[in-house]
């Protein structure tokens, strides 16, 4: 048995202390599933485990993570997996695949819970409940790093200085709210560079969505008052802000300042619109997140409502995966831990059922947020009605999804039959190229599965060898690189399963006709890959507008589908998606080339020095023509760097 330092997993918020006590315990065995071998691996690990809190990872023979778990006492928890007769069939399969374990000790079980959620999100193990919708939630950001703060939509890491308000359920809710807030508080939404270049008000000022601080139509003190009101409104004091605007409107009317009174009236209407469009029956409830779970036919859905300042900031349905054989309370608990891995928890979290480790969740969320967090199961009153409303929404969303998936499953079965596949494909790869007369050529691959597009599996290929306008050579190069690497990474050609999307596809679609099919077939035969189904999709007359796509098979046969066929619509959607992705990759490459500077080719000249040279000389051409003495006088350019630049342009000198 070996005992070596493990790789560094991502730290939970404020949990750098994990770095001091991280150990890996690994026992390698055969590659094939073997229940007894897995038990031996776990027993060897248990012998050296501490009686401390921590997180354990079970890995298969390739090192892929099968499961991530947390424990108050690691030795006791992990030893349970050696009693296989007490384990359900699902966990017995996991143990049979286990060939090594990784252990991370923590200072508390709450810290272990935070780390567990991070590692599940990072590794997406096949035996953990997974929150499939990992798209980051949008926030409203009111920045504080400028004399005239900007209001904007924000996703991702919250590094910018300012106040964040959210989460909102979707971008639509954020955009609608920001538009109304601009009418209400006249805050700028432009970038700092745009702001600094203005010499007259932009259109937003004309349509009364900005107070034009860029050209002095409002001073810093007046703008600061608008910012204060916006913070109060977003912070839950909307009624107070409305009363303040009403008083100001009345004062303006009494002073016969009817233009100002009309402006304040419009702002008051904007406030009423926000409250009306986001109103929810949440009496006495200021800030809370509400969750309810519905289960039907072996599927689970979770509905979430977000309430901030007594206003509904949207709702979203989630459908966790890998829930087979688990209790609903366990699924809800795992869902919440992953959900709040990036989203800051509300002070109050309302759920529709008792959770087995609610106190631990409260402790972990409170530690991450730096304040108290309460998880409650309301029994009566308005809070109970809100939870019941979430429960109804959860069931309705789950039923809609099951109906949609039923229709999708039927389409997939019909597609497999039409394309003469042995079974319904779980991983479909679609390929296309994009270029302009052979320049800046890019190959693109998208991946689709039973759940739709798998965007984190998309790949683009910068064409290196194929020259001129040879689409066939480009496709051969893409296929050679794609499947050559697949043979290295997964020589056993493991196929996708219900729990994962693996390396090898069940179907390859090519955007093209007979020529592209021949090029792809030839490339795969040279690699010894002959068992991957290939189909080429060629546009029909008028570039496919009439739905007359022709499907080319490797043996030369051709097929078409009726113009109103759901299978045709599905295949067109796949083709259109890879076309979109390929064009986007090509445009990005072309844009980078346009923005490139001759200075980029000089060794040792980074962005800062390039910027300094261009500011001093004006253009790259003047840098090239500059004498050595002139280069040395440029700010930030030492004598050695100046000599390097001069020698690059004057090699003979």
Q: Per-domain residue ranges for the chain?
A: 2-123, 139-278, 288-399, 428-586, 598-649
Q: What is the mean pLDDT of each run of 10 residues along the chain (653 residues)?
A: 36 41 43 80 90 92 89 91 87 91 90 89 86 72 89 83 81 78 84 86 87 90 87 71 75 75 71 54 72 89 84 81 86 90 87 91 88 90 88 88 81 90 90 72 86 85 72 86 83 56 81 88 87 86 62 90 86 89 76 59 74 78 82 83 82 59
Q: Of 571, 589, 320, give the one whose Cα is nearest residue 446.
A: 571
Whole-number pLDDT of residue 615: 79
Q: Does the 2-123 domain belong in CATH 3.40.50.1100?
A: no
Q: CA–CA distance from 592 to each of 241, 600, 607, 620 (Å)?
A: 47, 12, 14, 17
Lookup: tokens for 29 = 């065995």
Q: What pLDDT, on a 0 to 100 scale, did the predictor assign at position 277?
A: 47
**Predicted pLDDT of residue 468:** 60
CATH architecture for residues 288-399: 2-Layer Sandwich (3.30)
SS3 annotation, 200-229 = CCCHHHHCCCCCCHHHCCCCHHHHHHHHHH
Task: Please tell me the predicted confidence (pLDDT) of residue 3.
Answer: 35
**Which pairs count as long-range contacts for 643-651, CB under 8 Å and 24+ apart, including other chains?**
644/602, 644/603, 644/604, 645/602, 645/605, 645/613, 648/601, 648/602, 648/603, 649/624
Provide the pLDDT for residue 563.
80
Q: What is the CATH number of domain 428-586?
A: 3.30.420.340
Residue 217, CA distances (Å) to 182, 222, 261, 512, 637 in order? 16, 10, 18, 58, 42
Does domain 598-649 fall into CATH 3.40.50.300?
no
| Cα–Cα distance measured from residue 379 to residue 385, given in angstroms and rounded to the nearest whole number | 9
pLDDT for the residue 31: 55
Q: What is the pLDDT of residue 166?
A: 76
288-399 against 598-649: fold identical: no
pLDDT at 9: 41
pLDDT of residue 507: 92
């Amino acid at each position: 048995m070996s005992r070596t330092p493990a790789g560094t997993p991502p730290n939970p918020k404020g949990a750098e202390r994990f770095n001091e006590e991280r150990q890996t315990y690994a026992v390698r065995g055969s590659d094939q599933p073997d229940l007894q071998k897995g038990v031996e691996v776990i027993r060897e690990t248990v012998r050296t485990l501490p009686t401390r809190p921590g997180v354990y990872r079970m890995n298969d023979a390739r090192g892929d993570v099968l499961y991530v778990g947390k424990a108050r006492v690691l030795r006791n928890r992990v030893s349970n997996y050696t009693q296989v007769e007490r384990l359900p069939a699902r966990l017995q399969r996991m143990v049979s695949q286990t060939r090594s374990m990784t252990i991370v000790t923590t200072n508390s079980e709450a810290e272990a819970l935070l780390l567990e959620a991070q590692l599940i999100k990072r590794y997406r193990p096949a035996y953990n409940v997974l929150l499939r919708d990992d798209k980051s939630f949008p926030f409203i950001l009111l920045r504080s790093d400028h004399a005239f703060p900007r209001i904007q939509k924000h996703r991702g890491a919250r590094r910018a200085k300012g106040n964040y308000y959210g989460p909102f359920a979707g971008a639509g809710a954020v955009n609608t709210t920001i538009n109304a807030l601009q009418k209400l508080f006249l805050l700028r939404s432009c970038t700092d560079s745009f702001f600094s270049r203005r010499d007259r008000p932009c259109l937003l000022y004309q349509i009364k969505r900005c107070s034009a601080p860029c050209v002095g139509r409002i001073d810093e003190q007046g703008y600061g008052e608008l910012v204060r009101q916006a913070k109060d409104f977003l912070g839950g004091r909307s009624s107070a802000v409305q009363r303040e605007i009403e008083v100001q409107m009345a004062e303006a009317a009494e002073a016969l300042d009817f233009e100002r009174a009309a402006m304040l009236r419009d702002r008051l209407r904007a406030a009423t619109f926000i409250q009306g469009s986001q109103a929810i029956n949440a009496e006495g409830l200021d800030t809370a997140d509400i969750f309810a779970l519905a289960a039907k036919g072996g599927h689970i859905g979770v509905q979430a409502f977000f309430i901030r300042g007594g206003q509904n900031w949207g709702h979203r349905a989630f459908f966790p995966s890998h829930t087979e054989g688990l209790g609903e309370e366990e699924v809800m608990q795992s869902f919440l831990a992953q959900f709040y891995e990036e989203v800051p928890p509300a002070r109050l979290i309302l759920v529709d059922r008792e959770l087995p480790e609610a106190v631990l969740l409260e402790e972990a969320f409170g530690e991450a947020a730096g304040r108290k967090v309460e998880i409650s199961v309301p029994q009566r009153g308005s809070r109970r009605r809100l939870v019941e409303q979430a429960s109804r929404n959860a069931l309705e969303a789950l039923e809609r999804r099951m109906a949609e998936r039923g229709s999708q499953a039927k389409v997939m079965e019909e597609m497999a039959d039409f394309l003469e596949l042995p079974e319904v494909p779980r991983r479909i790869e679609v390929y296309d190229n994009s270029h302009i007369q052979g320049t800046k050529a890019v190959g693109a691959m998208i991946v689709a599965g039973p759940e739709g597009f798998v965007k984190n599996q998309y790949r683009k290929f910068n064409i290196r060898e194929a020259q001129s306008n040879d689409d066939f050579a480009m496709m051969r190069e893409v296929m050679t690189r794609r499947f050559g690497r697949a043979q290295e990474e997964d020589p056993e050609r493991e196929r996708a399963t219900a729990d994962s999307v693996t390396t090898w596809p069940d179907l390859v679609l090519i955007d093209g006709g007979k020529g592209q099919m021949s090029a792809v077939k030839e490339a795969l035969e040279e690699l010894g890959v002959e068992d991957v189904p290939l189909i080429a999709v060629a546009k029909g007359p008028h570039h496919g507008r009439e739905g007359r796509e022709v499907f080319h098979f490797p043996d030369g046969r051709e097929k078409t589908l009726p113009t109103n066929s759901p299978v045709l619509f599905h295949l067109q959607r796949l083709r259109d998606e890879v076309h979109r992705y390929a064009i986007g990759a090509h445009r990005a490459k072309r844009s980078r080339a346009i923005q490139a500077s001759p200075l980029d080719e000089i060794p040792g000249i980074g962005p800062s020095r390039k910027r300094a040279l261009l500011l001093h000389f004006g253009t790259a051409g003047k840098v090239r023509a500059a004498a050595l003495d002139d280069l040395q006088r440029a700010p930030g350019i030492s004598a050695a760097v100046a000599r390097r630049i001069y020698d690059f342009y004057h090699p003979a000198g």
